Amino acid sequence: MGKHVLIVYLTRTKNTEAVARMIQKQVGGTLVALELVNPYPQDYKEQVAQVVRENESGFLPPLKTKIDSLAKYDVVFVGFPTWDMKMPPPMKSFLHAYDLSGKTVVPFNTNAGYGVGSGFDSVKALCPKSTVLTGFSTQGGKEREGIMLAIKDGQADETAKAVTKWLREIGFLK
């Protein structure tokens, strides 16, 4: 395709990272995992409570991750899990911190079976001067039920096929 691709993702249970790697395998590009200055609690319930508070207050947690020369990228894939039926605050921090005007932005998502929530709408709202393509969403783990990494074994193959189909549909693969 001749485009310079950046794949930025946020992951807790490695599901979103797994999808990011599937995308990279097919379109190339640079992978960047978002990390926070002050990481979230390891305990799932504590993290959920913190995310709900951040969403209610509009707090944007500071990012430890820094991206140099964003200008060299034409396409930015942004991947995140659904938290509180929304885009997670750290991804909002990224989209506020970096100007993606004029770039093609491609969202992808993992979730616990409830879907993307308002996440893709948030990408469009936070990237008004970007071309935002149709996103991809797949079920990852079900942390509440103790299933941390569901994108493995047979589901990994199924997810990889779905990623390929989506990349074709949005024009990244022939």
pLDDT score at 16: 92
Q: Are the C-beta atoms of 75 and 132 separated by less than 8 Å?
A: no
Q: Are the C-beta atoms of 19 and 150 separated by less than 8 Å?
A: no
pTM of the model: 0.91
Model confidence over 97-128: pLDDT tens digits?
999 999 999 999 998 878 899 999 999 999 99
Q: How far is CA 173 from CA 26, 90, 106, 136, 157, in A?
A: 8, 29, 14, 15, 18
More confident residue, 166 or 160: 166
What is the SS3 assignment for 157? Answer: helix
pLDDT score at 167: 98
Ordered structural domains, the chain, with CATH = 5-169 (3.40.50.360)
Question: 151 falls in which pLDDT band (50, 70, 90)?
Answer: low
Within 10 angstroms of residue 137's Cβ, the number of other Cβ atoms is 19
Least confident of 23-37, 103-117, 122-136: 103-117
> Does 168 have pLDDT greater than 60?
yes
pLDDT score at 112: 81
Q: What is the mean pLDDT of residues 26-45?
A: 94
Q: How far is CA 158 from CA 1, 80, 152, in A?
A: 25, 19, 9
Kindly give the interhelix angle for 44-57 and 89-97, rounded to the nearest 10 degrees: 50
Model confidence over 53-93: pLDDT tens digits?
999 999 999 999 999 889 999 999 999 998 889 999 999 99
Please state, in angstroms and rounded to a whole number, the distance separating the CA atoms of residues 12 and 158: 21
More confident residue, 146 or 52: 52
Token output for 126: 């936070």
Which residue, among 39, 41, 100, 40, has the nearest Cα to 67 in the 3D structure? 100
> Does 153 have pLDDT greater than 90?
no
> Does 173 have pLDDT greater than 90?
no
